[in-house]
C-alpha cells in the first residue's frame, strides 16, 4: 500500500461527502416551483448525479476494503491507530493526535505514518 493509495481513499471519502450534500441540495432546491422544463432538467441532473455517486461509492468500498486489510496487517498498535484514524476515518493529523492522546502531536503522528510507509517500501 502506498501513500498515494491511502490518500486516494481519504479524498474519495471527502468527495463522496460533498457530492451527497450537493445532491441533497439539488433535491430540495426550488421544490415549490414546478415548471415543466426546469423540473425535467432537474430530475435528469439528479439521476445523473445519483449514478455518479453510486460509482464513486463502489470504488470507495473496494479501496476501503484494501486499506482495511493493510491497516489490519500493521503489527504495532500505535501505528495501526494512526493509519485507522487518518485514512479510514478521514481525520486531520491534529484530530489523529488528539484521538491517540499520550502527548502525541500532529507532527508526531504524521511522522509515525511516514516512517512506517518508508519502512515497508524498502521491503
Q: How far apart are CA 89 and CA 64, in angstroms?
A: 11
64 with 107, same domain? no
Q: How far apart are CA 119 and CA 16, in angstroms?
A: 31
Residues 96/86, Cβ–Cβ less than 8 Å: yes
Tens-digit pLDDT profile for residues 62-114 = 999 999 999 999 999 999 999 999 998 889 999 999 999 999 999 999 999 99
Contacts of 27 (CB under 8 A, 6+ apart): 46
15 with 55, same domain? yes
Q: Is 104 helix (H, G, I), strand (E, B) or coil?
A: coil
Burial of 36 (0-12, 13-18, 19+ CB in 10 A): exposed
CA 120 to chain centre: 23
Question: Structural domain tally of the chain?
Answer: 2
45 with 95, same domain? no
Q: How far apart are CA 50 and CA 105, in angstroms?
A: 39
Per-residue pLDDT band for 38 (boundaries 50, 70, 90) equals confident
68 with 84, same domain? no
- Residue 18 domain boundaries: 1-73
2 with 54, same domain? yes
Give, in order, the Cα–Cα distances in Å from 68 to each of 21, 56, 57, 85: 26, 18, 16, 11
97 with 122, same domain? yes
Averaged pLDDT for residues 31-47: 76
Q: Is 103 helix (H, G, I), strand (E, B) or coil?
A: coil
Amino acid at each position: 500500500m502506498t501513500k498515494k493509495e491511502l490518500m486516494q481513499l481519504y479524498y474519495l471519502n471527502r468527495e463522496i461527502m460533498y457530492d451527497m450534500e450537493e445532491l441533497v441540495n439539488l433535491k430540495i432546491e426550488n421544490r415549490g416551483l414546478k415548471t415543466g422544463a426546469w423540473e425535467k432538467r432537474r430530475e435528469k441532473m439528479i439521476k445523473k448525479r445519483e449514478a455518479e455517486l453510486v460509482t464513486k461509492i463502489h470504488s470507495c468500498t473496494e479501496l476501503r476494503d484494501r486499506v482495511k486489510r493493510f491497516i489490519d496487517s500493521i503489527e504495532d498498535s500505535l501505528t495501526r491507530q494512526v493509519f485507522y484514524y487518518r485514512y479510514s476515518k478521514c481525520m486531520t493529523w491534529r484530530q489523529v493526535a488528539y484521538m491517540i492522546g499520550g502527548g502525541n502531536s500532529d507532527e508526531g503522528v504524521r511522522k509515525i505514518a511516514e516512517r512506517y510507509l518508508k519502512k515497508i517500501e524498502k521491503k
